[in-house]
Amino acid sequence: MASIRRTLSPAYHDRSYQNGAGFSSPSNKFLPNGSSKHFSSSSHLPFLFNAVNIVYRKGWRRSFCRCLFFFVIGFVFGIAPIGYSDTDVRAKDFTFPELKQPHANLRFDDQIVTSVSLSVNTKLLEPKESTDIIEPLKQLIVVTPTYNRGFQAYFLNRLGQVLRLVKPPLVWIVVEEKAASHETAEILRKTGVMYRHVLCAFNSSSVKDPRVHQRNAALEHIERHKLDGIVFFADDDNVYTLELFESLRTISRFGTWPVAMLARSKNKAILEGPVCNASQVIGWHTNDKSKRLRRFYADMSGFAFNSSILWDLKRWARPFSNPIRQLDTVKEGFQESTFIEQVVEDESQMEGIPHGCSRIMNWHLHLDTDNLFYPKGWLLEKNLEVILPIK
């Protein structure tokens, strides 16, 4: 019986390959009649190759279309104005802010400061008023007579340490009689105070109080060298406060203040000095009946005066040119009053310090040290005679 064979399409003609290999179809789905018969590799190779090529091309195009589709959707949703947000980026966000100086509203003593200048002015500011000028402190001229006695070293060291605490300028005039001792000079050097060691050449052996001539030697030294300042007689055996020395600089011509004194009986303290209404002297304190005949009741360490009174006659209009000195011819206890009478005429030329004369700033102690003698050079050459063994 003759067999009937369907002629294949010219597209599926046999093709020769370079390597002589062919493709074998794993399935029959490419057959035109759906038959499950197997065909030879030589007759079906062109058909399989074209089919694979078509599938390959169609799969690449499908993937590319899908990617392009989702890219378009995402781009559309990205540029679409869905809602308003504070984080939206606008063109104005990229502009630099305008920098302005902050408004200064400072308050100082109820005054509003509207501007602050940071420039440096190298020009020196001149004081507007005379009260703005800082006046230098007045110089203090402290006069201390000293002589050889038991507590001389102790008294000088104590007074020197007090003067060391006083603000300069200050000059300490220490006066010795007959000869200047090396021991006194060594104490003065160690105190650190500016001093002048003066010698009194007057023979005071017949005088009951040799300190009168010692003070006169200091007054002559001040007058000769025209030292400008406030003169204060500070005996080495008295006790002084720093407040006293600072108050001396407020004196214009003559100042006075009350002094507390230990009575010679050592059983009571007495007060001697001015009674003041503010800085005006209106009376005097005194407890010694023998001194009630004096004109001024002030202790030797209870007053101070301007040194220019000694050498500047025109400034103070002094009617006489006699030197102002202490008098050794008057009775004991009257040297203070007779000296003050040469400096001022009455209480109207006095200044009471401190305000109201209500504070005690120094003590006058009467210590009996005349019978006590310190060895030469203030050193003990031998030890004590009694030696006690250590138990």
Active site amino acids? 336
Amino acid making up residue 71: F
Q: How distant, in Å, are the alpha carbons of 133, 160, 182, 232, 244 from that of 164?
A: 27, 6, 21, 16, 14
DSSP 203-231: --TT-S-THHHHHHHHHHHHHHHT--SEE
Nearest to 233 by CA among 130, 136, 164, 326: 326
Structure-token pair, residue 277? 């209404």
Q: In whole angstroms, what is the distance from residue 334 CA to residue 297 CA? A: 9
Task: Give the dihedral sign, CA 103/107/112/113.
Answer: negative
Q: In whole angstroms, what is the distance from residue 210 CA to residue 217 CA? A: 11
219 CB-contact burial (10 Å; exposed 0-12 / middle 13-18 / buried 19+): buried
Q: In whole angstroms, what is the distance from residue 17 CA to residue 235 CA? A: 144
Residue written as token pair 């030469």 = 376
Q: Are 233 and 215 in contact (CB under 8 A)?
A: yes
Q: How many alpha carbons lie under 13 Å from residue 202 in its C-beta half-sphere? A: 18
237 is in an annotated binding site: yes
The binding site for Mn(2+) comprises: 237
The binding site comprises: 237
